[in-house]
Structure 1
Amino acid sequence: MDHRFQVNLRGVIDLLSHHLYSSPGVFVRELLQNATDATRARRHLEPTHPGRVRVELIEKQDGGRPTLLFEDEGVGLTEEELHRFLATIGESSKREALEAHRNDFIGQFGIGLLSCFMVCDELLVVTRSVKGGDETWEWRGRQDGTYSVRPSEHRLAQPGTQVFLIARADAVEYFTPERVRQLALHYGGLLPFPIHLTAHGRTEHLNPEPPPWRRAYGSAGERRQALLAHGRAVFGMDFVDCVPLRAEAGQVEGVAYVLPFSPNFHARQTHRVYLKDMLLSERAENLLPDWAFFVRCVVNAQELRPTASREAFYEDATLARARAALGQCLRQYLVDLATHEPRTLQRLIALHGLSVKALALDDDDFYRLVIHWLPFETTLGMMTLEHYRQASSTVRYVTTLDTFRQVSRVAAAQGLCIINAAYTHDAALLEKLPRVLKDTRVELFSAAQLPQGFEELTAEERDGVSRLRRVAEEALASFDCEVSLKKFLPAEVPTLYGDVEEGPFRRDLERAREESDALYASLLEGAQEPEAPEQKPQLCFNLRNPVVRRLARVRDTAQLRLSVEMLYVQALLLGHRPLNAREMALLNRGLLGLIEAKLGDDEDSGGLH
């Protein structure tokens, strides 16, 4: 046996009117929207019908709560339509026309009128239909879910609808002339039908001009200044530039404004969007591609679908195509800058490098245009890739900040330029370089490559350090570290620890194995790929360093070994390498040994005085 759902109308109205919408002020939007849709529906029957919307604030002389009137010259409603559309939640008066004219109407859900119950307890709708002769009907709806319909004693002179709202005591702030004007302009300032506001006996035309992107201007410069002024008025800030936007999908048009500051890469910009000239949302997020976070937009769409709250666009194929087209407008803007205004592009890159880099990764043609203007941090300072390639045919880079810190000082002293590609997108941009520009070589650099360019020792110098080499090789043999002695700059650096690309990963794996239990250690062993013959890490001693030269003359083997071990640990720490358990023990033993040696020297010299 089937049963019907039991619906608590008071609860449904409370849910929709208080929780679906973001602010009580949206009731103005919903009433303007209904008036606009009614006017568009009448134009389907009478194409030359001009249409207008009148808003009047009626303030009581006796101090009673004010009344707000919204009046349109639209299609109106019959008695049957009042029962059907105003008293059935989810039923829209536009639904019959949606299949043929879905994109002509803003409202499509049949719940917008309920927003009025956020500011009043009762609604009075007076309407005359173009299809119902000269009959005028009244529909009175109440917040408890009851309503009544009867013929009106006050007949309308022509088809249209009047909606009366008496302010609730806690919502009087929405019924002042200033607030009504602000809300009507905010939501309906771009509507193509005239909106007239009457208050205190004065009538004002609120929307006499079309949106700025539809106006005619005397020059491109005048147009740009007008668009920038509009952006300043909308968002309250001065923008760097403006970009006209247009997309056939969804019939979208508007302006993108280039931000004067660099936003957080993970922040999504929110945009002001209109649907059929009615404000939909000031916080729409899904309008542009993710990489376009350097702009904020004002756009109007004719054929995108709103969500039920009409505060965002519904995610569908049309929105996806519109998003791609708007992204192409921004892409073309950057391409035009690269071609005609490279200095402007360089200033924009300085502000919004992450967006430009993300787009370059996505678009090969744009990559070719901008890659040589992108700045990179190198061991020889900040420079563009073009500047780098003028000095070197091979682009060398490291992918971690620790490696860059380890090699930067020594590499700079040798005049070797290495790019720090640890920043977002930099490594991917450099790896893409030889795929797009065939004449370019790119090389991932490691600290192990630095000693290859160091100055070799003379035969006499090699003899002088042979004992140091032998003791160092014995001390570091258990750490699988090779030893070399060379001369390099800067002289104050005594040693350089260089390992292969996978070295840091192996050290992390070894430390994790030491710190885990037997079961987890066996899992790590099983997950590790079979080792291939590999280059071992190397500790290179710098014979230009005075400490290393003095070590070469030390005769005490224990003291020499201790010093070598301490220099090894120091090189690891300077290279930001994690110490394993044996290396930590080495550090502790070395520190204790140095303390004991110092204490011994003090005792030999007489101790305390």
Structure 2
Amino acid sequence: MAQHKFQVHLRGIIDLLSEHLYSGPEVYIRELLQNAVDAITARQQYEPAMRGEIVIECHSPSTGRPPTLSIRDNGIGLTLEEVHHFLATIGRSSKTSDNWTQPADFLGQFGIGILSCFIVSEEIVVLTRSARNPTAAPVEWRARADGSYTVRELERDLPVGTQVWLTARQDKERWLTAEEVRRLVLHYGSLLPVPLHFHAGRVQEILNTQTPPWRKHYATPAQRHKALLAYGRETFGISFLDAVLLSSEVDGLDGVAYILPFTPPLSARHKGHRIYLKNMFLSETADNLLPEWAFFVRVILNATTLRPTASRESFFEDENLARTRTLIGERLRRYLVNLAEQQPEKLEQFVQLHHRALKALAAEDDNFCAMILDHLPFETSLGTMTFGEYRQNYAIVRYVADVDTFRQLANVAAAQNLCLLNAGYAYDLDLISRIPELFPDLSLEEINSDTLTQEFDELTVEEQADCESFTLQAEKILRPFRCRADIKKFQPEDLPALYSISREGRFQRQVEHTRALSNTLWSSVLDGLVQRDIVQAGTLCFNFRNPLIRRLLSLRSPQRRQRFIEILYVQALLLGHHPLNAREWQLFNQGLLHLLDDLLNS
């Protein structure tokens, strides 16, 4: 059986890189800088005293021709054989071969970085001379996006190292302009230890001259803290609340976490960072680097032990990444503990801005929960208060497990001077469930609309007799909706009726509502969840103290009273944020039409 080798369609590979692997054309600068730094690192293994440098030159012809770019390094260089072996073989990288004794020192690993240059240029020209083989002739490698390339040895002399030339494609000129190249070099290489010389016309400058403050020594911690905040303000354009050092030589980590002076939106919790790998900018997102609860920070972080993905825009999930994530979490946790113990005023300011993050951390850390719970705010029926304030006034923690039920009951409970705690938001229920362990003198009581109505005042025997016919009529009207009728006295007086439902009943209503809106297949799936044996899912409790209810009790026309009962039922559903089914909407519309007819005919 004959064996065949795969053929590579280079244009298809380039489209794959530009459309799916890389975030944009600008990554070609990162890949060129990466190759240059790795080449210098390789040469320094042979010549430790050698000082590396990278020169970026932008050429903008005035004749209407496209701009060109060259990047030159004084690194290890390549021989003719190595050019064939590495540059012309997709997926083969010199940095992972047996040529180097310390592949972990290198940025590149996958052997595809040079291909990113085809996103902005139809041709790549590489001029290179080897430092390991001084007698080898300089080599020129010309590659085109159609998959063809030429290699030749040069008779003229070249300095040791490598120079890459690019000419902008017709639709990519902006990426090779001097302004854009300078911006991208600073963006990706500002922390690189190798000097980045930038030349454009008469402009000549070294771009990465600034040493970040977490790598400097200061006379006092206050001076360092001031410098960190100034650097954060310059980098992000934000006056941060505080700064936390994240450096750890053992774990190959250095950088700083900045405490945001505002509550970030959910969509931006993992964005806006500056993440570096071996001093090369990697990404602005940190979705798998920071703990889930650490959405109150913007970080500038450089890692040396983590593995990048092929796109070099995130980290590979492994033990090293998990250990780094734990280390960052420990540093931030320690910072919060220090605030609680030494700077209570700053902690109070922090809690006002980032209490959700603190709740997320407390939900997974029992010790931190015990320390911070008293400081955390909760929504209650009597207004927002910290848990410490709540437990000073109440021996029983009465809570509502979901937001909609709390909104329905808050005003009613407040009118009864009953303080209900809203546990429907993220992490709140987890924290409340730990209260008996942390505070043995407190007890928990879950409140729903059913249990709250038990707190209402009962009618006298005479009042029950006056309401008997009304209650019987309401029971008959509400029975098709699996709802019973009741009448009690409660506050506030301006609320005519309160609809209460058990947790199972609420779930059934939601299932039936979703089934009515779904297609046939999904509806048949939901049909199996419907419990048709539930006779009474909810209760409509009328308020005897309400003036409208008192008028209805004296209304002699059963037909008119029916219309008001139907409308009050639907109104109570809406106040409780319960989804209405088609029958209930029809009931509401018909009730309004009948009332309008009565008004016009009176």
**Does the 8 Å contact 2:496/2:543 carry over to 1?**
yes
Distance 2:588 2:24 in 1: 64
More displaced 10-residue stretch of structure 1: 309-318 or 9-18: 9-18
**Map of 1:302 onto structure 2:** 304
Aligned-pair distance for 1:584? 7.5
Deviations 1:266-316 (A, max 9, x none): 555233222211222334543222332332222111121222232332232
Deviations 1:566-591 (A, max 9, x none): 65665455445566788788768876
**Map of 1:467 onto structure 2:** 466
Q: Output the amino acid matched with 1:2.
A: A
Q: Output the amino acid matched with 2:151.
A: S
Going from structure 1 to structure 2, the CA distance change for 1:247 and 1:327 (only over 3 Å counts) comes to farther
Distance 1:31 1:523 in 2: 55
Distance 2:206 2:132 in 1: 30
More displaced 10-residue stretch of structure 1: 57-66 or 494-503: 57-66
Matches within 5 A, 1:127-526: 127-143=128-144, 144=146, 145-156=148-159, 160-165=160-165, 167-168=167-168, 170=170, 173-200=174-201, 203-246=204-247, 251-265=252-266, 267-270=268-271, 271-283=273-285, 285-456=287-458, 462-469=461-468, 471-473=470-472, 475-476=474-475, 479=479, 486-505=488-507
Distance 1:72 1:180 in 2: 17
Aligned-pair distance for 1:500? 4.0
Distance 1:292 1:55 in 2: 38
**Map of 2:7 onto structure 1:** 7
Q: Output the amino acid matched with 2:466.
A: R
- Structure 1 gap ranges (5+): 603-609
SS in 1 for 2:102: helix
Going from structure 1 to structure 2, the CA distance change for 1:438 and 1:46 (only over 3 Å counts) comes to farther
SS in 1 for 2:72: strand
Q: Output the amino acid matched with 1:276.
A: K
**Does the 8 Å contact 1:250/1:319 carry over to 2?**
no
Going from structure 1 to structure 2, the CA distance change for 1:475 and 1:26 (only over 3 Å counts) comes to closer
SS in 1 for 2:337: helix
TM-score for both structures, normalised by structure 1: 0.82
- Structure 2 gap ranges (5+): none
Distance 1:71 1:561 in 2: 88
Matches within 5 A, 1:535-574: 539-549=540-550, 571-574=572-575
**Map of 2:77 onto structure 1:** 76
Distance 2:23 2:597 in 1: 73
Distance 2:228 2:190 in 1: 16
Aligned sequence identity (%): 45
Going from structure 1 to structure 2, the CA distance change for 1:499 and 1:469 (only over 3 Å counts) comes to farther
**Map of 1:39 onto structure 2:** 40
Aligned-pair distance for 1:250? 5.9
Aligned-pair distance for 1:161? 0.8
Aligned-pair distance for 1:191? 1.3
Distance 2:165 2:517 in 1: 72
**Does the 8 Å contact 1:139/1:148 carry over to 2?**
yes
Q: Output the amino acid matched with 1:422.
A: G
Distance 1:510 1:149 in 2: 75
TM-score for both structures, normalised by structure 2: 0.83
